[in-house]
Amino acid sequence: MSKKIFIKTFGCQMNEYDSNRIYDSVKRLGFTKSKDQNNLDCFILNTCHIRDKAKEKVYHEIGRFKKLYKKKNKPIVVVAGCVAQAENQEMLKREPYIDIVIGPQSYHKINDKLKNFIKDNKIEETEFDSVSKFNYFDNIENQNSKVSSFLTIQEGCDKFCTFCVVPYTRGPEYSRPFNKIISEAENLIKNGVKEIILLGQNVNAYSYNDKLKEYRISDLINKLESYSELKRIRYTTSHPKDMTDDLIECYSSSKKLMPFVHLPIQSGSNKILKLMNRKHTVEQYIEVYERIKKINPLVEFSSDFIISYPGETNEDFNDTLSLIKKLKFINSYSFIFSPRPGTKASNLKMIDKEISKERLLKIQENLFKFQLKLNKSLINKTIDVLVENKMNDQNKLFGRNKYMNSVIFDGDHNFIGKNINVKIIDVNQNSLFGKTQKNNMRAA
Ligand code: SAM
Ligand code: SF4
Ligand code: F3S
């Protein structure tokens, strides 16, 4: 009889990709993906350490899970992801209900650990070994693919922004070999994937050298462009410093690269960017923005902002606000600075909580107002949507437009995996609601 496994995933797209790869791997041990958390043989918590009380959230989740299994046989409980990497042994000491702690660069060992797991014999595995990890996964078919699929091309970070845990939890930058990425992409396309989202903590820092040349992310985009079955290409998350000419050029030469760039700036003040060790100025960011807009005016930008970084004055904050008004970002994220253990900024003097909340509100008011205005301008327009799936328990379809907005509409399930025209009839800040146009099957 097959064994049941459930992975609960927090954090960024890379964790989502990793969870799916773990599912692919444990299948070889006879595990099948369970839809719920009851009667499991193995429970994995794939964690994120980027902000706030990440560690406490994990113990809270384990406590909740423990209650669920009070009167049942305990499954193997695994903590994976960035909290596992940061906390390692400590977690096993503090919560004996946890059996295995495994960091993101050790997932190639997960089958071994599960296969040889003996009750009460706790395991901790947090080495950085990206080469072995990807070599292992290169031989496992990526089966958890959907219409839109993530594909990790680069992992880790050498930039060490003062606020960020990623260099400590994901390790140094590592770029996968070009041909391995392409064969994984071919496999995805063969399985019906229509959109590939190239992933990396610094995805545009991708650099792989073989004897002939250095491959960059632009080479991957250009190669993917040639697969007729593939309709859309995206990448995330990029760093302003690595927006090189060859990548910018793709916004004019590629028909499949979507006209949407998520390019975090964090602050509109050069003083704060310097304190953050961001390695770029506001002016350099605007230059990249304007160059891309010039070669393709359809391109829209979104960004990430950290509010109330230690030392941020009202003037610095107003610089961020002005930048937001000037560049008109769509779909952006904003967070109050959260001190992370082990990072350079962790011991700096925090800005008053009430001031920080007020600043965040002001930033979000501006971001959201613009987002809603933009969405409203789409009412009665017909837009191109890649249909991803049917919505749970609803007779509606879900897809995305070129700018990653969610689009919800009535339609036939035959539309799934196709590009169709949807007329927008209503919107809110986050989603567009529409109806399908006649003769849509031909629009694919
Ligand atoms: N590599 C990307 C870059 O360089 O912009 C970002 C990666 S991080 C996973 C995603 C976002 O989380 C960051 O852009 C930043 O805005 C936010 N973030 C990271 N550390 C944070 C912290 N300590 N407090 C608040 N927000 C944070
Ligand atoms: Fe974190 Fe900075 Fe690296 Fe992005 S570039 S992952 S924010 S250290
Ligand atoms: Fe979180 Fe780790 Fe991603 S800290 S944002 S899961 S890289």
CA of 339 from ligand 3 middle (Å) equals 15
- Answer yes or no: is the C-beta of 15 below 6 A from any ligand 3 atom: yes
Using omega within 30 degrees of 0 as the cis cutoff, is the peptide bond preceding 237 cis?
Answer: yes
What pLDDT, on the 0 to 100 scale, is given for residue 439? 62
Beta bridge partners of residue 7, listed in sequence order: 44
- Answer yes or no: is the C-beta of 170 below 6 A from any ligand 2 atom: no
CA distances from 70 to 37, 73, 74, 145 (A): 13, 8, 8, 35
User: Which domains does the chain carry?
Assistant: 3-129 (3.40.50.12160), 382-440 (2.40.50.140)
Tokens of 308: 């109330």
CA of 414 from ligand 2 middle (Å) equals 41
- Answer yes or no: is the C-beta of 168 below 6 A from any ligand 2 atom: no
Q: Which ligand is nearest to the CA of 169?
A: 3
Site to probe by mutation for ligand 2, drawn from 12, 82, 161 as the one with most ligand atoms within 8 Å of Cβ, is 161
Residue 150 phi/psi, 5-degree rounding, is -80, 150
H helix or E strand, kind and range, residue 387: strand 382-390
**CA atoms of 194 and 90, how far apart (whole Å):** 42
CA of 15 from ligand 3 middle (Å) equals 7
**CA atoms of 406 and 95, how far apart (whole Å):** 39
**CA atoms of 237 and 264, how far apart (whole Å):** 8
CA-based R_g, the chain, Å: 22
**CA atoms of 346 and 301, how far apart (whole Å):** 30
Residue 423, class by beta-carbon neighbours within 10 Å (0-12 exposed, 13-18 middle, 19+ buried)? middle
Q: Which atom of ligand 3 is nearest to the CA of 14?
A: 3
CA of 382 from ligand 3 middle (Å) equals 36
The DSSP secondary-structure symbol of 240 reads G
Angle, CA 203 vertex, CA 234 and CA 103 arms, to 5°? 115
Q: Which atom of ligand 1 is nearest to the CA of 340?
A: 23
Angle, CA 204 vertex, CA 252 and CA 320 arms, to 5°? 90
Q: Which atom of ligand 3 is nearest to the CA of 82?
A: 2
Residue 287, class by beta-carbon neighbours within 10 Å (0-12 exposed, 13-18 middle, 19+ buried)? middle
What pLDDT, on the 0 to 100 scale, is given for residue 55? 86
- Answer yes or no: is the C-beta of 111 below 6 A from any ligand 2 atom: no
**CA atoms of 21 and 30, how far apart (whole Å):** 15
* Amino acid at residue number 400: R
Site to probe by mutation for ligand 3, drawn from 16, 44, 102, 166 as the one with most ligand atoms within 8 Å of Cβ, is 166
The DSSP secondary-structure symbol of 266 reads B
Nearest CA to ligand 3 atom 5: 12
Q: Which atom of ligand 2 is nearest to the CA of 237?
A: 4
CA of 234 from ligand 1 middle (Å) equals 19
Tokens of 223: 């190669």
- Answer yes or no: is the C-beta of 50 below 6 A from any ligand 2 atom: no
Beta bridge partners of residue 208, listed in sequence order: 215
Q: Which atom of ligand 2 is nearest to the CA of 167?
A: 8
Site to probe by mutation for ligand 2, drawn from 85, 202, 343 as the one with most ligand atoms within 8 Å of Cβ, is 202
**CA atoms of 231 and 196, how far apart (whole Å):** 9
**CA atoms of 44 and 18, how far apart (whole Å):** 12
Q: Which atom of ligand 2 is nearest to the CA of 239?
A: 5
Which residues form the pocket of ligand 1, taking CB atoms under 6 Å from any ligand atom? 12, 50-51, 163-164, 166, 201-202, 237, 239, 264, 266, 304, 306, 335, 337-338, 340
Beta bridge partners of residue 124, listed in sequence order: 101
- Per the document, the length of the chain is 444
Going by C-alpha positions, the residue among 103, 6, 104 that lies closest to residue 61 is 6
* pTM metric for this prediction: 0.95
Tokens of 288: 């990249």
CA of 191 from ligand 1 middle (Å) equals 33
What pLDDT, on the 0 to 100 scale, is given for residue 443? 42
Each residue's pLDDT tens digit in the chain (444 positions)?
689 999 999 999 999 999 999 999 999 999 999 999 999 999 999 999 999 888 889 999 999 999 999 989 999 999 999 999 999 999 999 999 999 999 999 999 999 999 988 877 889 999 999 999 999 999 888 877 789 999 999 999 999 999 999 999 999 999 999 999 999 999 999 999 999 999 999 999 999 999 889 999 999 999 999 999 999 999 999 999 999 999 999 999 999 999 999 999 999 999 999 999 999 999 999 999 999 999 999 999 999 999 999 999 999 999 999 999 999 999 899 999 999 999 999 999 999 999 999 999 999 999 999 999 999 999 999 999 999 999 886 789 999 999 999 999 998 889 999 999 999 999 999 999 999 976 665 443
Nearest CA to ligand 2 atom 5: 159
The DSSP secondary-structure symbol of 242 reads G
Q: Which atom of ligand 1 is nearest to the CA of 239?
A: 4
CA of 347 from ligand 1 middle (Å) equals 18
Q: Which atom of ligand 2 is nearest to the CA of 170?
A: 6
Site to probe by mutation for ligand 3, drawn from 7, 12, 45 as the one with most ligand atoms within 8 Å of Cβ, is 12
Q: Which atom of ligand 1 is nearest to the CA of 336?
A: 25
